[in-house]
A and B are shown apart, each in its own frame.
Chain A
Amino acid sequence: MTTEDASRLSIGGRSFGSRLLAGTGKFASPELMSDALKASGCEIVTVALRRADLSGSHDPFANILEWIDPKNYLILPNTSGAMDAEEAIRLARLAEAAGLPKWVKLEIHPDPRYLLPDPVETLKAAEMLVKEGFVVLPYINADPVLARRLQDVGTATVMPLGSPIGSNQGLVTRDQLRIIIEQAEVPVVVDAGIGAPSHAAEAMELGADAVLINTAMAVCQDPVRMAKAFRMAVESGREAFEVGVGHRSQTARPTSPLTAFLEAS
């Protein structure tokens, strides 16, 4: 008999050894993407449906899915490109009809510049997709109330952003993330803005259950080595969280305290 390993990530009734989720955009070639995914150790890979062929015709000019072996990775379709709930729901259904997993990374960002998610439409779509039996992982701003509302309608995770997608700014929303993590009953995946392995480690030390990495891995001199660096950062951040990182203090704490003599007497 095996027991569920507490150090594993559990989402939607499935268990994963890696706490790094990877995106597939922006790579210089599909070969490089494939190698980087492998080096990252990730088990969940998200793919923009707008770049994939959903017709089943194996379009050689839109073959991104053929570079991601479903035996090695859970393919997480994402609804990037959708501007409202209706469009996102339609995309999720199409992905399922095309034979992809009934999982969806729900992304609804009407503003193509900062790609910030629309909270109203995201909640609406999440509710509907959960009812239809999808495992829903919603991308949201770092809003603790919205995170709870989504949790209440049955999403499998919440995926708050650290900073805008692709910005590499790190955990600008750190204080809000802390509240979301404290209150969450579903896994919290920090989804956007992680630009360096140190940011990923910081999110994990904070208590995030996982992080999603894309731009920082895809756009650098050596995506494969960077993927490895992120893998190690996520692992070390998680280890540190499980052990319990020491409290920070504004003042020094001497290892030989001044009042120790009182104890000796």
Chain B
Amino acid sequence: MATTSSQVDMALAGSLRGLDRLTALLSPAASKRLEELGQLSQAITQQRFGKVIRLFAPLYLSNECINNCAYCGFSRDNPILRVTLEEKEVQQEAQALADQGFRHILLVAGEHPKFVSNGYLEACIRRLAPLVPSLSLEVGPMEQADYQPLVRAGAEGLVVYQETYDTDVYQAMHTAGPKKDFDWRLDTPERAYGAGFRRLGIGALFGLADWRVEAISLAAHTDYLLRKCWKSQITVSFPRLRPCAGAFEPMTAFDDRSLVQLIAAFRICFPDVGQVLSTREPASLRDGLIPLGITTMSAGSHTEPGGYTGAGQSNLHQTTKGRIQALEPLADSDQLKPRQATGQFDIADHRSPAEMAEVIRSSGYEPVWKDWDAAILKHE
């Protein structure tokens, strides 16, 4: 039964609770009252988080992957230029980000145990911990016991997006590799919590299934984690599909107005859950979203390993069935244009971190670079 305007009133006033409230705030009836949702969302966000936006950057370690995901540029069957950065190259990239101000870095890698082993990740974290106060991971899901050394090494956040909560769509999208296992992925945040991660990031990739159904599923997952993993800081993200290698087209529409409605509805229903916005979205939209409910933004991002300093160019290759295939030498005419690893998806907001910080200031918010000190955790 369709939500009525009076049910939207009840949802705004808080007399509807839980998922009923969210469902009403996501309804077509509520979409006609976007300004009211936005105003309430802003007030709640400012009261809970203050007039601040936290900044972070992703650092891609590797674009090797054993999965085939229809929407992802790193899929194993895509004939892209691949590389896994060496530890010293990872440090070089992190230093470049730290020099620009970042004190929170998200280490990202495709899922490939051969190239991105647990030992490699631990070594990278140990190398970066003295440089960067806050390190989070977005890598292939692991067993709880395998996460523990990474936490001890200094990682404190773990991000894992379910991509879609629609099991049929999930099976259709993930055709090969361990990612095919929906439940294994769904349980990842709890395993990470058990291992001691303090911040857990979840999300869905919007554009694969009906956005409202996806959002309600994501809310149910959020609600579950808030109860079960009560000591963790939960963040959510609503990434939308971007162009990437493989030329996958979004299956469902999810326009800017709907994104605003989703951000506001989540803020109203989950006042304390952080919301993360990446550079997938264009500058004008990102600027508009700053005062609406977002709490954390990336800036100046690259989605290819080595993107910040050109690291890893000498090891570029293609990978076929887990085996490295050397590249053909460049023709003389191409020597001036160095080859780069392929990115996961195209960035839409290319502004530098300093430019982004200035935009945040001019919107009446303080850009916060450091909001965590590694000294809080005991390192071995």
Contacts and interface: CB of A to CB of B under 8 A. Distances in A.
Interface stretch (B9-17, B41-49, B109-117, B158-166): B41-49
A48 B48 CA distance: 16
Chain A interface bracket (under 10, 10 to 19, 20 to 34, 35 or more):
35 or more
A113 B226 contact: yes
Contacts of A52: 370, 373
A55 B201 CA distance: 28
Nearest to A48: B371
B282 interface: no
A27 B376 contact: no
Nearest to B372: A50
Given A50-B371, A61-B370, A82-B376, A26 B51 contact: yes
A114 B373 CA distance: 21
A87 B376 contact: yes
A230 B226 CA distance: 35
Interface stretch (B243-251, B316-324, B361-369): B361-369
Interface string A35-79: 000000000000001111110000111100000000000000000
A62 B51 contact: no
A168 B44 CA distance: 11
Contact of A111 (B231, B365, B376): B231
B336 to A, nearest CB: 35
A101 interface: no
Contacts of B46: 26, 219
B337 interface: no
Contacts of B232: 112
B1 to A, nearest CB: 32
A154 interface: no
Contacts of A26: 46, 49-52
A219 B226 contact: no
B226 A90 contact: no
A245 interface: no
A219 B51 contact: yes
B101 interface: yes
Nearest to B274: A112
B47 A215 contact: yes
A168 B47 contact: yes
A137 interface: no
Contact of A110 (B52, B231, B365): B231
Interface string B349-380: 00000000000010011101111110111100
A29 B52 CA distance: 8
A181 interface: no
A128 interface: no
Contacts of B89: none
A112 B272 contact: yes
B103 interface: yes
A62 B370 contact: yes
A119 interface: no
A59 B131 CA distance: 12
Contacts of B373: 49-50, 52, 54, 81, 91, 94
A81 B51 CA distance: 19
A62 B370 CA distance: 6
A168 B43 CA distance: 12
A226 to B, nearest CB: 13
B144 interface: no
B91 interface: no
Contact of A28 (B364, B370, B376): B364
B42 to A, nearest CB: 11
A189 interface: no
Contacts of A110: 230-231
Nearest to A165: B48
B51 A218 contact: yes
A51 B49 contact: no
B340 interface: no
B95 interface: no
A94 B46 CA distance: 30
24 contacts: A25-B52, A27-B50, A27-B51, A27-B52, A28-B365, A50-B371, A51-B368, A52-B373, A54-B375, A61-B101, A62-B103, A62-B370, A81-B376, A83-B231, A86-B378, A87-B377, A90-B378, A91-B373, A111-B230, A112-B231, A112-B232, A166-B47, A215-B47, A219-B46
Given A26-B49, A50-B376, A61-B369, 17 more contacts: A25-B50, A25-B52, A28-B366, A49-B373, A50-B370, A50-B371, A50-B373, A52-B370, A52-B373, A54-B373, A83-B198, A90-B376, A110-B231, A112-B232, A215-B47, A219-B50, A219-B51
Interface of B: 46-52, 101, 103, 198, 226, 230-233, 272, 361, 364-366, 368-373, 375-378
Interface of A: 25-30, 49-54, 59-62, 81-83, 86-87, 90-91, 94, 110-114, 166-168, 215, 218-219
